[in-house]
């Protein structure tokens, strides 16, 4: 058996491919409520932008589609945990975010989906047993 000498501590980033980094930054910080964690020049007309919940160790990178020829094949599959899924859905809707019609109960959790400005879809996961509206 192969012995592993290093341990992965956490996921650092997950890329979301966007058309306009500035509009996406505005969406994630002003509508979703994430914090800007890093913003550095990466290439001509492109920046390395990381956003995420306050204090989170894992961040989303708002990566420009223009730098990835195969961006359409690299769709994100990201799930965000919510303590209060109803309150989160209500807040996102109030901020103009496109959220699925209803919160659904599954055997594993409660969930809803939302989309960013580029049509990328994300899952909101809440715990079972939270009150329904």
**pLDDT for 49-86, tens place per residue?**
999 999 999 999 999 999 888 888 887 789 899 989 99
Q: What is the pTM of this model?
A: 0.79
Q: Has residue 130 got a pLDDT over 80?
A: no
pLDDT at 133: 46
Domain locations in the chain? 13-66+74-126
Q: Please say whether the beta carbons of 123 and 111 come within 8 A.
A: yes
Separation of alpha carbons 119 and 49, rounded Å: 19
Q: Has residue 5 got a pLDDT over 60?
A: no
Separation of alpha carbons 7 and 128, rounded Å: 32
In degrees, rounded to 5, the angle at the alpha carbon of residue 33 between the alpha carbons of residues 22 and 62 is 35
Structure token digits, residue 42: 């990466």
In degrees and rounded to multiples of 5, residue 111 shows phi and psi of -150, 160
- Band (pLDDT 50/70/90 cuts) for residue 116 is very high
**39 SS3 class:** strand
Separation of alpha carbons 74 and 106, rounded Å: 27
Q: Please say whether the beta carbons of 110 and 131 come within 8 A.
A: no
> CATH topology for 13-66+74-126?
2,3-Dihydroxybiphenyl 1,2-Dioxygenase; domain 1 (3.10.180)
């Amino acid at each position: 058996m192969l012995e592993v000498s290093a341990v992965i501590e956490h996921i650092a980033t997950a890329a979301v491919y966007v058309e306009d980094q500035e509009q996406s930054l505005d969406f994630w910080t002003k509508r979703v409520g994430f914090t800007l964690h890093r913003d550095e020049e990466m290439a001509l007309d492109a920046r390395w932008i990381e956003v995420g919940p306050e204090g989170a160790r894992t961040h989303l990178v708002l990566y420009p589609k223009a730098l990835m020829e195969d961006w359409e094949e690299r769709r994100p599959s990201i799930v965000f945990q919510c303590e209060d899924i109803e309150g989160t859905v209500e807040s996102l809707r109030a901020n103009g975010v496109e959220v699925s019609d209803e919160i659904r109960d599954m055997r594993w959790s409660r969930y809803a989906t939302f989309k960013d400005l580029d049509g990328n879809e994300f899952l909101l996961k809440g715990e079972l047993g939270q009150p329904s509206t």
